[in-house]
């Protein structure tokens, strides 16, 4: 199973994500770093385990209030062997082409940012593109026709349950099993608490999981990650 640490960027700093309430996010406080600087937090995560991928949510770009590309470039320069998966609120063909041309990382196309399925359809076969299917509770955030058309999805799909992020509620196994039935590599995002949850996900055929709180609070340890790897 692939375990992918997460950082959420807002205003150039890493913030503590909780239940998708982005307007309430505050700079993170973690024993893994002295502050909330993106490079320091990324290094702290890598001190737990030699992760090969790092997921980054650029909350300013998603919200249309700016971007954190300068911070992303610093992280990329510091960790050149780590692949970044970045959700930067990409919603148009030019924006997707521009992002991929900059070579800052793989593009995560969040369903909540899409107005139709054209962008997903256009980039579905690009190996640098990941689809994030975003949910709030039982409500899908995005074009309904996207959720109904798994043949248009890229080979890697994140199932993002926003109200479980940082909630200590556990992963949404039923929904994840349904998405995994598409045959795509499915990644769980939201609610992963510890190694026990990761084992449940692996048993359910889930390819990987995005984690944050469980790394910062120490419930997912270096030994756990080594055993899973």
Q: What is the CATH number of the domain that holds 118?
A: 3.20.20.70
Whole-model pTM: value is 0.94
pLDDT of residue 190: 87
Give buried/exposed letters for 125-144 (b at 16+ CB in 10 A, else e): eeeebbbbbbbeeeebbbbe
Instruction: Report the pLDDT averaged over residues 88-99.
Output: 96
**173-189 pLDDT tens trace:** 999 999 999 999 999 99
Distance CA 142, CA 147 (A): 8
Is the pLDDT score of 151 beyond 90? Answer: yes
| 19-24, Cβ contacts within 8 angstroms, sequence gap of 24 or more | 19/162, 19/163, 19/164, 19/165, 19/166, 19/167, 20/136, 20/162, 20/163, 20/165, 22/59, 22/63
* DSSP-assigned states of every residue in 95-130: HHHHHHHHTSSEEEEEGGG-SSSHHHHHHTT-TTEE
What share of the chain in percent tops pLDDT 70? 96
Q: How far is CA 212 from the centre of its chain?
A: 10
Distance CA 51, CA 48 (A): 9
pLDDT of residue 4: 98
Count of domains for the chain = 1
Distance CA 158, CA 145 (A): 17
| Structural domain harbouring 162 | 2-228
Is the pLDDT score of 23 beyond 90? Answer: no
Instruction: Report the pLDDT averaged over residues 200-206.
Output: 95
**70-85 pLDDT tens trace:** 999 999 999 999 999 9
**47-63 pLDDT tens trace:** 999 999 999 999 999 99
């Amino acid at each position: 199973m692939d375990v992918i640490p997460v950082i959420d960027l807002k205003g150039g700093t890493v913030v503590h994500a909780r239940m998708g309430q982005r307007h309430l996010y505050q700079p993170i406080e973690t024993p893994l770093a002295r502050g909330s600087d993106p490079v320091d937090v990324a290094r702290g995560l890598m001190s737990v385990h030699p992760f090969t991928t790092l997921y980054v949510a650029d909350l300013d770009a998603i919200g249309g209030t700016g971007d954190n590309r300068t911070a992303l470039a610093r992280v990329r320069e510091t960790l050149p062997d780590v692949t970044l998966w970045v959700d930067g609120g990409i919603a148009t063909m030019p924006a997707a082409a521009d992002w991929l041309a900059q070579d800052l990382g793989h593009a995560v196309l969040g369903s909540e940012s899409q107005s139709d399925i054209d962008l997903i359809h256009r980039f579905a076969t690009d190996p640098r593109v990941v689809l994030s299917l975003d949910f709030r509770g039982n409500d899908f955030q995005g074009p309904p026709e996207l959720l109904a058309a798994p043949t248009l999805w890229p080979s890697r799909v994140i199932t993002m349950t926003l109200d479980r992020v940082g909630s200590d509620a556990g992963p949404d196994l039923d929904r994840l099993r349904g998405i995994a039935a598409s045959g795509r590599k499915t990644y769980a995002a939201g609610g992963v608490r510890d190694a026990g949850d990761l084992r449940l996900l692996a048993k359910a055929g889930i390819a990987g999981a995005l984690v944050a709180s469980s790394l910062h609070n120490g419930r997912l340890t270096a030994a756990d990650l080594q055993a899973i790897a």
